[in-house]
Chains A and B, each alone.
Chain A
Amino acid sequence: MNDEAACVLFDPGHRACGGCAAAMAARFILDAAGKDTIVVSSTGCMEVFSTPYPETAWNVPWIHSLFENNSAVASGVVASLKKQGRKEKVIALGGDGATFDIGMLCLSGAFERGHDFTYICYDNEAYMNTGIQRSGATPYDASTTTSPAGSCSFGNSRPKKDLPMILAAHGAPYVATASIAYPPDLKKKVEKAINTPGPCYIQVHAPCCTGWGFEGEKTVAIGKLAIETGLWVNYEMEDGVVTKVKKVVRKPVEDYLVEQKRFRHLFKPKRNDAEIAKIQALADRNAEKFGIDIKLKK
Chain B
Amino acid sequence: MLEITEGSHAVADAVGKCRPQVIAAYPITPQTHIVEALAEMVANCEIDAEYITVESEFSALSACLGASAAGSRVYSATTSQGLALMFEVCFNCAGMRLPVVMSIVNRALGAPLSIWNDQQDSISLRDSGWLQLYAEDNQEATDLHYLAYRVSEDHSILLPSFVCFDGFILSHTYEPVDTLTKEQADSYLPPFKPFQRLDAADPISFGLFAAPDYYMEFRYEIDQAAKKALSVIPKAGREFGELFGRDYSGLVEGYRMDDADCALVAMGSICGTVKDAIDEMRDAGKKVGLLKIRSFRPFPAEEVKKALSGVSRVAVLDKNISLGSKGAVALEIRDALYGSQTPVYDYIIALGGRDVRKKDIARVVSLAEEGKGDLFYGLRDEVLK
Contacts and interface: CB of A to CB of B under 8 A. Distances in A.
Contact of B66 (A35, A59, A68, A73): A73
Interface in A61-86: 61-66, 68-69, 71-77, 79-84
Contacts of B204: 61-62
A13 interface: no
Interface string A101-124: 000011011101100000000000
Interface stretch (B165-173, B206-214, B324-332): B206-214
A150 interface: no
Contacts of A81: 70
Nearest to A62: B205
In this complex, the member of A35, A38, A59, A68 whose beta carbon has the largest number of chain B beta carbons within 10 angstroms is A38
A65 B89 contact: yes
B200 A113 contact: no
A66 B88 contact: yes
B219 to A, nearest CB: 13
Nearest to A48: B209
Given A84-B71, A84-B72, A63 B64 contact: no
A174 interface: no
A47 B209 contact: yes
A61 B96 CA distance: 15
B70 A51 contact: no
A123 to B, nearest CB: 22
Contacts of A110: 59
A37 interface: yes
A51 B66 contact: no
Contact of B62 (A38, A62, A73): A73
B365 to A, nearest CB: 46
Given A74-B66, A76-B67, A76-B74, A62 B200 contact: no
Nearest to B54: A109
B308 interface: no
Contacts of A88: 198-200
Contact of B52 (A59, A76, A84): A76
Interface in B1-58: 21-22, 24, 48-50, 52-56, 58
Interface residues of A, number: 44
A51 B52 contact: no
Given A36-B200, A58-B205, A76 B65 contact: yes
Contact of A66 (B50, B68, B92, B202): B92
Nearest to A60: B203
A79 B203 contact: no
B133 interface: no
Contacts of B199: 61, 88
- Interface bin, chain B: 35 or more
Contact of B50 (A36, A69, A83): A83
A59 B56 CA distance: 32
B interface majority secondary structure: mixed
A44 to B, nearest CB: 11
Contacts of B96: 65
A82 B58 contact: no
A37 B208 contact: no
B353 to A, nearest CB: 30
Given A52-B208, A106-B59, A38 B200 contact: yes
Contacts of A66: 62, 88-89, 92
Nearest to A57: B205
B213 to A, nearest CB: 9
A105 B52 contact: no
B321 interface: no
B75 to A, nearest CB: 12
Nearest to B74: A76
Contacts of B22: 76, 79-80, 83
B59 A75 contact: yes
Contacts of B209: 47-48, 51-53, 64
B327 to A, nearest CB: 31
A106 B21 contact: no
A56 interface: yes
Nearest to B23: A79
A77 B52 CA distance: 11
B309 to A, nearest CB: 44
A281 to B, nearest CB: 36
Contacts of B67: 76-77, 79-80
A54 interface: yes
Given A53-B208, A105-B59, A75 B54 contact: yes
A62 B55 CA distance: 24
Given A61-B198, A80-B70, A88-B200, A106 B62 contact: yes
A53 B89 contact: no
A93 to B, nearest CB: 13
A53 B62 contact: no
A206 interface: no
A40 interface: yes
A40 B198 CA distance: 10
Given A65-B89, A84-B71, A40 B66 contact: yes
Given A63-B69, A106-B56, 18 more contacts: A36-B200, A47-B209, A52-B211, A56-B208, A60-B203, A64-B206, A66-B92, A73-B62, A76-B62, A76-B65, A79-B72, A80-B21, A80-B68, A82-B50, A84-B70, A88-B200, A108-B55, A113-B52
- Sort A-B residue pairs by CB-CB distance and give the 7 closest, nearest first: A76-B66, A109-B55, A72-B62, A76-B63, A76-B67, A73-B66, A80-B70
10 contacts: A40-B66, A51-B205, A53-B214, A64-B206, A69-B59, A73-B62, A76-B68, A80-B70, A108-B55, A110-B59
Interface of B: 21-22, 24, 48-50, 52-56, 58-60, 62-72, 74, 88-89, 92, 96, 198-200, 202-211, 214
